[in-house]
Amino acid sequence: MFQVLRTKRFGELEVEHGGWQDAGLHIVRLTNGVYCHVSGLPVSSKGEFQKAGMQGDDLLKAENWFEHRHDSEENPPQGVVFRPDGSMAFEDGTLVTQSAQLMQCLPPGEFLDAALKALFKWQEGQKAPGLKNTRALEAAKKGPVAPKRKAGTAKKGKSPAMAPVPGQAAAPPPG
């Protein structure tokens, strides 16, 4: 049984173990064996496991995973291909659907961060493809709207001093 954790930056994560929390760190184990922070960020050092309060067998498993997560025997390296529709796939054609898949195959760094952001944006677009244009459609239905002006500003060519006072006739325009 797993729990779905929704993160703002990386989308949904399937959490197998609720995690370890201490010293401001909260690390969880995902269903595919990847360890990451509850925010979705990958673990960047083995020391983070101890800081989060892991002990005994759990600590040994996590450290072993960290040391061997990029070994080519257990986890053969695969390239990630960005497809024209914004989705990602591995070189073998398997569609990337979870951030844990990327964390398992890519080393920590800027490319992993960019791939995770791209995956999250693609997932958001898949959930509600029509929401992108919702504002534009609503604005088009309302019709043209005059731009907002700051308080105390007048239209171009009209001075606030020339505005008629209630109860008096408007002055004729000059020249």
- d(C-alpha 26, C-alpha 155), whole Å: 56
147-157 burial by CB neighbour count: b if 16+ within 10 A, else e?
A: eeeeeeeeeee
Per-residue confidence (pLDDT) for residue 137, from 0 to 100: 47
Structure confidence at residue 128 as a pLDDT band (50, 70, 90): low
The mean pLDDT value of the chain amounts to 76
So where are the chain's domains? 3-127
Structure confidence at residue 31 as a pLDDT band (50, 70, 90): confident
What tokens appear for 31 in the block? 């269903």
pLDDT tens digits for range 1-25: 678 888 777 777 888 877 888 878 8
pLDDT tens digits for range 147-173: 555 665 555 555 555 555 566 665 566
pTM (two decimals): 0.52
